[in-house]
Structure 1
Amino acid sequence: MDILNSTQSSEFSRALMPWALGPIRLRNRVIKSATNEGMAPRGVPTKALVQHHRSMAAGGVGMTTVAYCSVSADGRTFPDQITLNAETVKHLRVLTDAVHREGAAASAQITHGGAFNFLPQLSTRYPMSASSGFNAAGVLNGRWFKNAMTRDDMARIKQEFVSAALVAQQSGFDAIELHMGHGYLLSQFLSPKYNRRKDTFGGSAEARVRFPAEVLNAVLDAVGKTMPVICKISMFEGYKGGGTVEDAVVAAKSLSAHGAHLIVLSAGANVEAPWAIFGSQIPKGVAGATQSFMMRAATQVLQWQQPKIEFHDLYLLEAARRIRAVVDTPLAYLGGVKSIAGIEEAMRDGFEAIVMGRALIHQPDLLRGFEAGKKTRSGCTACNLCVPMMYTPGGTRCALTSVENSALNQLAACD
């Protein structure tokens, strides 16, 4: 980056200086968060996805994260989601090459949806999860029940994560982010609401983290010498019976002990408490106009249930500080960073990296503006209208600063 404005603080300057993340070096400590792009129709990464992440890299971030790359066909949450396999390598290589040309690194967030899926077909009758029984997510698509994973299932899924990480490496990604939050499979193991197992993988918070830690170990063994392996967790799930900060402290300590290079601290659950992810109200239409009647009806119920929340900067900072106090592994602060002052405060509190989402969707070159002294604060209003945009033909964008380009989102990345 250019020489920093002399009026900027040493903490802000430090955030924009090169930084070693595990086995790689980033040009700064600011990471674009994984936010569902909606730019892989039929699972094919598009030129719109390439442009989205290229713009983040050109805007100055140290690393940009491609969201929700599934480890298998059954692991997808919805049909228009990337699956990390041989067919997607050529498309993702276009993306990572574009990011690298702009001087940034690229991270692949890899995940398995578990019981949280809206696929028209599965290879099994019911989706898998930590425990069997009623499937809350299934209310959205009529898949009312789920099966508890057996030990054989766990071994197979663990290998799927390893295989996906290797595909990401082949595709030119610099880092792997294991999604252990927001209600996906690994977080279903962490959650006391979802995980009611009676074996060594359920019960206490220490037991519930065992399978996610096994996945972390396996991915570290496969790629960890050359790629940082990041874990993203929910510090609290935000609904009755869900995971608490106390649970997250246990999980973070375990993931740290098992060698995670970085832990990204998020919150919330997609189905039960999406507002906790964003720290503000979820707008109407979040299910998307093309979704089923049942899904749209269920999201309307969530509209009625969500508490009155007013957005404020750094809305997850108090919870994150509790984990910072007891974990030595590098931690990334996420949640309401919209200004130079916010970056400075998170850096002063000892967080090694800053993760930003909506503010960069609103203005991909925000960091350049901060650096040049042209801005001190993002114009993002936290309206969350970018969230339902993922279901539009053009994919995720800021409703205030951009226009839809659906044509670009119909062109495969390598075409």
Structure 2
Amino acid sequence: MSEGRRSPFDPITVGPLKLRNRFIKSATNEGMAKDGLVTKGLSLFHERMAEGGAALSTVAYCATSLDGRTFVDQVTMNRDSLADMKSMTDAVHRHGGAISAQLTHAGSFTFLPKTEMATSKPLSASGGFNKVGVLSNRFFKKAMNLAEIDSMVEEFVVAALLAKEAGFDAVELHMGHGYLLSQFASPLYNKRKDEFGGTIERRLKFPNEVLSRVLDAVGKDLAVLVKFSMTDGVKGGNSIEEGIEIAKSLEKTGAHMAVLSNGMNVDSIQEMFGSPLPKTSTKPANAVIGLGMWLQSLTAPPDKQFHENYLQDNAQKIRAAVNMPLAYIGGAKSKQGVDDILAGGFDAIAMGRALIHDPQLINRWKSGADETSGCTACNRCVTMMYLPTGTHCVLTGAQDAELNKIPAGAA
């Protein structure tokens, strides 16, 4: 089969990992790790993705440390969680799937109570006023010094080694959406005057060091992916030209695959989802969602409507600039849409909302069904993550909330 006519059901090798097909369940915050516990609910969520045909399921937001969380209900890569993580990876492997840990540090994008953090000011590329911290009474952030940068690199390495020990097949470094690594990459957050600020090359120095060290530590055994924002989606942020430079830099450093996302949490959330967060006349229970909706109402074009493969134009510019394996993400919901993406030269297709709506979609496509996902891109699943049930599609229902209270490895 020619490169222009690859099938989504062809196997693919990513670094040392061979995947049974080209479908990746993208990282979507599950909200099923209540109080940081790796639960049976979280394990079942990813097991269902593997059972439904996904080659690789990505566990969203595995914090590199307790201070790296955005909320308390997130997985932290530590030895206390190891047995439960191993139970989860085993569950995915039973269905022939692979599983990835998305390694992330929030930087200044954190909403942890002050009692939950060791530092009074969250770390970031630059110090000063912390607009996100208004919600958690953390009005200022701290510019990381050289010792803190070195320590943070090591923190990512330790997290990757724990992922390997827990049975993960891959790690995904989160370098997008406004978390710490993207705070260094983006001029919206990085105002440094030293070797880690200024040009895009210098802004990438710290993220690339993290990637390089993680590759050295686990790259022979695990696939090492990087998720990044092709643009920041807001004035003053990275444009697609900087996005191309990021992709070239990741390729040069040796990433096994890049996952092409877009936009920033809060700053340009509509650029990420391709459609607005749900409008409601009632105040959202979660303050972060409320802030995102308010900022969205100020900056988002009122007539922006979801359409399939809405990030394809920018992704094609990245594809033309690099030879490294690329996973497209952004609104694929039909077999034809997937075929169009792969025909454009992309190596894999990452899907979020469509698989939350129906984890069995890929199996049906493989059996010959030619259907479009019933996902309406209403984005109400985004707000569901803060409920006891965790992330789910409002059209197809939730898992049992009680499963989110039980350790994954419990009998």
Counterparts of 1:409 and 1:233, CA distance in 2: 29
Q: Is the 8 A contact 2:229 2:261 kept in 1?
A: yes
Q: Does 1:15 align with 2:15?
A: no
Classify 1:233/1:300 alpha carbon distance in 2 versus 1 (closer, same or farther; 3 Å). closer
2:366 to 371, 375, 378: 371
Q: Does 1:199 align with 2:194?
A: yes
**1:307 deviation in Å?**
2.4
Q: Is the 8 A contact 1:288 1:391 kept in 2?
A: no
Q: Is the 8 A contact 1:94 1:414 kept in 2?
A: yes
**1:298 deviation in Å?**
2.7
Match of 1:307 in 2: 301
Which string of whole-angstrom CA distances, capped at 9 and with x for unpartnered residues, describes residues 181-232 of structure 1? 0000000001011001111111011111111000000100100011111000
Q: Does 1:84 align with 2:87?
A: no
* TM superposition score normalised by structure 1: 0.94
* TM superposition score normalised by structure 2: 0.95
Q: Does 1:48 align with 2:45?
A: no
Query: Following superposition of structure 1 onto structure 2, how do residues 2-401 of structure 1 map, counting pairs within 5 Å?
Result: 14-121=7-114, 122-284=117-279, 290-291=285-286, 295=288, 298-305=291-298, 306-308=300-302, 309-401=304-396
Question: Which sits farther off after the overlay, 46-55 or 280-289?
Answer: 280-289
Q: Is the 8 A contact 2:10 2:22 kept in 1?
A: yes
Classify 1:377/1:10 alpha carbon distance in 2 versus 1 (closer, same or farther; 3 Å). farther
Q: Is the 8 A contact 1:288 1:392 kept in 2?
A: no
Which string of whole-angstrom CA distances, capped at 9 and with x for unpartnered residues, describes residues 9-31 of structure 1? 99776211211111111101110
Counterparts of 2:128 and 2:294, CA distance in 1: 22
Counterparts of 1:391 and 1:288, CA distance in 2: 14
Question: What are the ranges of 5 or more consecutive residues in structure 1 without an aligned counterpart?
Answer: 1-8
2:79 partner amino acid: A
Q: Is the 8 A contact 2:269 2:292 kept in 1?
A: no
Classify 1:44/1:111 alpha carbon distance in 2 versus 1 (closer, same or farther; 3 Å). same
Question: What is the SS of the residue equivalent to 1:347?
Answer: helix
Match of 1:3 in 2: none
Classify 1:291/1:377 alpha carbon distance in 2 versus 1 (closer, same or farther; 3 Å). closer
Q: Is the 8 A contact 1:165 1:176 kept in 2?
A: yes
1:116 partner amino acid: F
Q: Is the 8 A contact 1:131 1:146 kept in 2?
A: yes
Counterparts of 1:227 and 1:117, CA distance in 2: 28
2:407 to 400, 412, 415: 412
Counterparts of 1:109 and 1:287, CA distance in 2: 33
Counterparts of 1:240 and 1:217, CA distance in 2: 30
Classify 1:286/1:143 alpha carbon distance in 2 versus 1 (closer, same or farther; 3 Å). farther
Q: Is the 8 A contact 1:43 1:83 kept in 2?
A: yes
1:21 partner amino acid: V
**1:374 deviation in Å?**
2.7
**1:241 deviation in Å?**
1.1
Counterparts of 1:286 and 1:271, CA distance in 2: 20
Counterparts of 2:338 and 2:146, CA distance in 1: 43
Question: What is the SS of the residue equivalent to 1:56?
Answer: helix
**1:300 deviation in Å?**
4.5
1:340 partner amino acid: K
1:20 partner amino acid: T
Classify 1:289/1:311 alpha carbon distance in 2 versus 1 (closer, same or farther; 3 Å). closer
Cα RMSD after superposing both structures: 1.8
Counterparts of 2:296 and 2:317, CA distance in 1: 30
Q: How many residues align?
A: 405
**1:342 deviation in Å?**
1.1
Question: What are the ranges of 5 or more consecutive residues in structure 2 without an aligned counterpart?
Answer: none
What is the aligned-residue identity percentage?
51
Q: Is the 8 A contact 2:6 2:343 kept in 1?
A: no
